[in-house]
Structure 1
């Protein structure tokens, strides 16, 4: 039945039979047959369907929670048995907010040093997408803000407190300053992350409190695009310190500290709340504690 439950979860995640079959590496007829067999075994209809996916029946909604729990438990059992015989191995899927991608590299490197047989897939996503992907079992963990917007019931390990930098060309007056205030951005041409990014919502609040309309003429979901625009023209952007320093290396750009933020927000690792976690996720949480620069947990 386990393979049928995985088919069911894939259809719900994709909301499309063809795409779900593609993610599972099977044909659509095989997928459709598997769903019908699952419904026959359970004695209920799980999915409304005609010519296309039509959503879940009430029974399907209830079955989905069970399916996710059973598939997660089965994965944990498999990993524990393999770890007991062959050492820690497996495939970790991690979704990361764009501004924390350098920390994702630190985290995977830390874990790989002690467990070289663990493989990783790292995806850049918004904070909202990360929570959805965790719920849908599409990823095993995420790097996101811990103290700005609700996370739900998750396990978490703080990694660092975010401090902001103004990224500008090195030949501009602002680059020569030791620091700038948010109010100093009033007459600057801003390029920022899109409003779907939690980082942008934090920046908007800081700009608004400084009396500045948070208006960016260029928006992107990529930090690389923002820095490329600063390099190419008379734009400036605001980024967390770590990603800013990484992106300006070797370029005629400066990252100037921004003073007067309402608060520094904590970014950390999150995983679905389970007791216990799978061995691989447990090791990832331990690796996060090892590299963390946070001395105390974030405020609730």
Structure 2
């Protein structure tokens, strides 16, 4: 039944039979037959369908919760048996908000030195996408905000408090300053992350609270694009301290602290709530705690 539940999860994720079949590497008739067999085994209709996918039935909604749990447990069983045979190995999939990518590198490098048989796939995603990917079993963990949007039931390890910096060119009037206040940004050309990013929503709130209309003449989902515009075109951007410092190093740029008020938001490692975790994921959570303690 596990393979049929995997098919069911793929259809609910993609909302389309063809795309779900492609994601699993099977034909659409094979997928449709698998879903039909699952419905016959459970004795209920799971999916409304005519010529196309029509969403989940009420029974399908209930089955989705069980399917995630059962498939998650089955994957965990396989991971535990592999760890018993070969030690910690495999691939950890982590989705990260763009402003925390430097922290993803710190964690993966530290963990990799201890467990060289574990590889990493690191994806840049929004905070909302990260939570959905955890629910859909598409990732093992994420690095996201802990205190600004509902997280649901997850395991979490706080990593750092996000503090904001103004990134400007070395010829900017702000470059020689020890700090800059939010109201002083009024009227300046800003390039910021796109509005689907939680970082952008936080920045917008700070600007509004300072009496500044939050407008950006350039928007991007990439922090590299933002800093490149500061470097090439005289824009200003606002980024958390770690990524701002990293992207400014070695360039004719300055990262100046933003003050009055100094706002912070907690960012941390988040993982599905499951006890026990897989051996690899449990080791990752433990190492993240050690890394914070060491700092």
Normalising by structure 2, report the TM-score.
Answer: 0.96
Matches within 5 A, 1:282-297: 282-292=282-292
2:205 match: secondary structure: helix
8 A Cα contact 2:163 2:263, kept in partner: no
Q: Distance in 1 between matches of 2:188 and 2:200?
A: 16
Using the alignment, how far apart are the partners of 1:18 and 1:292 within structure 2? Answer: 44
Report the Cα offset of residue 70 of structure 1.
0.4
Give 1:41 shift: 1.3
RMSD (CA atoms): 1.4
Deviation at 1:217, TM superposition (A): 1.6
Counterparts of 1:125-274 in structure 2, within 5 Å, are 125-261=125-261, 263-274=263-274
Which is further off, 242-251 or 97-106?
242-251
Q: Which runs of 5+ in 1 are unaligned?
A: 296-300
Post-superposition offset of 1:158:
0.5
2:92 aligns with 92
Distance 1:294 1:130, change over 3 A: farther
Shift of 1:263: 2.7
Give the count of matched residue pairs. Answer: 295
Cα distance in 1 between the residues matched to 2:179 and 2:216 = 21
CA contact (8 A) 2:11 2:17 kept: yes
Q: CA deviation at 1:36?
A: 1.3
CA contact (8 A) 2:161 2:266 kept: yes
Contact 1:164–1:239 under 8 Å retained in 2: yes
Give the unaligned 5+ runs of structure 2. none
Residue in 1 aligned with 2:74? 74
CA distance in structure 1 between the aligned counterparts of 2:127 and 2:51, rounded to whole angstroms:
34
Matched residues in 2 for 1:283 and 1:137: separation? 19
C-alpha spacing 1:293/1:222, structure 2 compared with 1 (3 Å): farther
Distance 1:261 1:89, change over 3 A: farther
CA deviations on 1:11-66 (whole Å, 9 max, x unpaired) are 10011111111211222222111111111211211111112111011111111111
